[in-house]
Structure 1
Amino acid sequence: MERPAKRKCTAAGTGKVPCKYGKKCYRKNLEHLKQFKHYDDDEADEEVLSKDVVNNAEAADACESVQTGETIHPACVGSGSQEHKKLPTSHGEIIKCIEGLFLVKMPPDFYDFWQFCEQLNEDIPADALYDTLGLQLVGPFDALSGKLTGRNIKCMDDALCHWRYYYDPPEMQTVLRGDDEKLYHLGYFRDSPKEMPVFVASNFAQDSCKICKVGGNLFAAISKEISTALKKAKDSVMKAKLKKLNGTLIEFAEAKKYALDEATKKRPKPMAATFHGAGMVVPYNSATEVGYRPLPVSDAELRALLRKISSSSTDELHKKNMVELQDIIMNVHLANDECDYGMGLELGLDLFCFGCPKLHSVLLHIITLAYRLLDREEFAQIITAHLSRRKKGADLSVIDTP
Structure 2
Amino acid sequence: MMSSDIKDAEFQAYKDDSRIPCQYGAECYQKNPQHHNKYKHPPKRKMMVEKKTEKIITGEKRKQPIKDDKKAGSESPQRKLQKTLETSEKNLHSLSPSPERNDVIIHNNEDDNENLKEKTEASDKKILNRHNSYNSVENDATENTSMSDVNVKKIIADLFLVEMPEDFFQFYEFCKSISKDNPLLACKSIRLKLVGPYDILDGKIKILSENDKERYLTHWRYYYDPPEFQIYTTQKLNSQTIVKCDNKEGLHFGYWRDDTVEKPVFIAKNEANVNGIFEPVAENIFGAVDAYLYNKVKSANPFEKISITRLHSQLKNFAKQHNITLEKNTADMRARERLVVARTFHKAGIVVPYDKKTQLGYRDLAATDNDLQKILKQIEEAGTPEDRKISIAKLDEIVRLATIAADECDFGTCLELGHDLFSNGGFHVQTRALQMLSIAYTHLKRPQLLKILEAHLKNRKKDCELSVI
TM-score bucket of the superposed structures, by smaller chain: 0.7 to 0.9
CA distance in 2, matches of 1:311, 1:27: 37
What residue number does 1:125 align with?
Answer: 183
What residue number does 1:239 align with?
Answer: 305
CA distance in 2, matches of 1:98, 1:285: 35
- Alignment counterpart, residue 149 of structure 2, candidates 84, 91, 99: 91
Indicate the RMSD between aligned Cα atoms, in angstroms. Answer: 3.1
CA distance in 1, matches of 2:288, 2:437: 30
- Alignment counterpart, residue 193 of structure 1, candidates 234, 249, 260: 260
Residue 93 of structure 1 deviates from its aligned partner by 1.9
What residue number does 1:250 align with?
Answer: 316
Contact map agreement 2:159 2:217 (CA 8 A) in 1 = yes
Contact map agreement 2:253 2:268 (CA 8 A) in 1 = yes
Residue 11 of structure 1 deviates from its aligned partner by 4.2
Q: Work out whether 1:106 is the aligned partner of 2:176.
A: no
Map Cα deviations across residues 180-237 of structure 1 (whole Å, 9 max, x no partner). 2210111111111111111111111101001111111111111111111111111x33
Percent pairwise identity:
35
CA distance in 2, matches of 1:99, 1:57: 17
Contact map agreement 2:155 2:207 (CA 8 A) in 1 = no
SS at match of 1:161: coil
**In structure 2, do the counterparts of structure 1 residues 319 and 58 end up closer, same or farther at CA, with 3 Å as the change threshold?**
closer
Segment of structure 1 superposing worse, 148-157 or 288-297: 148-157
What residue number does 1:147 align with?
Answer: 204
SS at match of 2:217: helix
AA at the equivalent of 2:376: L
Segment of structure 1 superposing worse, 5-14 or 301-310: 5-14
Map Cα deviations across residues 53-91 of structure 1 (whole Å, 9 max, x no partner). xx969939x79xxxxxxxxx9xxxxxxxxxxxxxx9432
Q: Which runs of 5+ in 1 are unaligned?
A: 35-54, 64-72, 74-87
CA distance in 2, matches of 1:341, 1:110: 32
- Alignment counterpart, residue 224 of structure 2, candidates 157, 160, 167: 167
CA distance in 1, matches of 2:116, 2:392: 39
- Alignment counterpart, residue 228 of structure 1, candidates 285, 290, 295: 295
**In structure 2, do the counterparts of structure 1 residues 152 and 361 end up closer, same or farther at CA, with 3 Å as the change threshold?**
same
SS at match of 1:155: helix
Map Cα deviations across residues 116-170 of structure 1 (whole Å, 9 max, x no partner). 0111110111001112x10110011111111122349952221110000011111
Contact map agreement 1:292 1:340 (CA 8 A) in 2 = yes
SS at match of 1:200: strand
Residue 238 of structure 1 deviates from its aligned partner by 1.8
AA at the equivalent of 1:302: L
Contact map agreement 1:26 1:373 (CA 8 A) in 2 = no
AA at the equivalent of 2:441: Y
AA at the equivalent of 1:377: P
Q: Which has the higher contact order (CA 8 A, sep 6+)?
A: 2
AA at the equivalent of 1:389: N
- Alignment counterpart, residue 118 of structure 2, candidates 40, 54, 59: 59
AA at the equivalent of 2:329: A
Q: Work out whether 1:289 is the aligned partner of 2:359.
A: yes
Residue 239 of structure 1 deviates from its aligned partner by 1.2
TM-score normalised over the length of structure 2: 0.68
What residue number does 1:136 align with?
Answer: 193
Residue 12 of structure 1 deviates from its aligned partner by 4.0
- Alignment counterpart, residue 217 of structure 1, candidates 284, 292, 308: 284
**In structure 2, do the counterparts of structure 1 residues 307 and 246 end up closer, same or farther at CA, with 3 Å as the change threshold?**
same
What residue number does 1:339 align with?
Answer: 409
What residue number does 1:329 align with?
Answer: 399
Residue 107 of structure 1 deviates from its aligned partner by 0.8
Q: How many residues align?
A: 346
AA at the equivalent of 1:219: F
TM-score normalised over the length of structure 1: 0.79
What residue number does 1:303 align with?
Answer: 373
Structure number with greater Rg is 2
Q: Which runs of 5+ in 2 are unaligned?
A: 1-30, 50-76, 91-113, 123-127, 129-145, 237-245
What residue number does 1:41 align with?
Answer: none
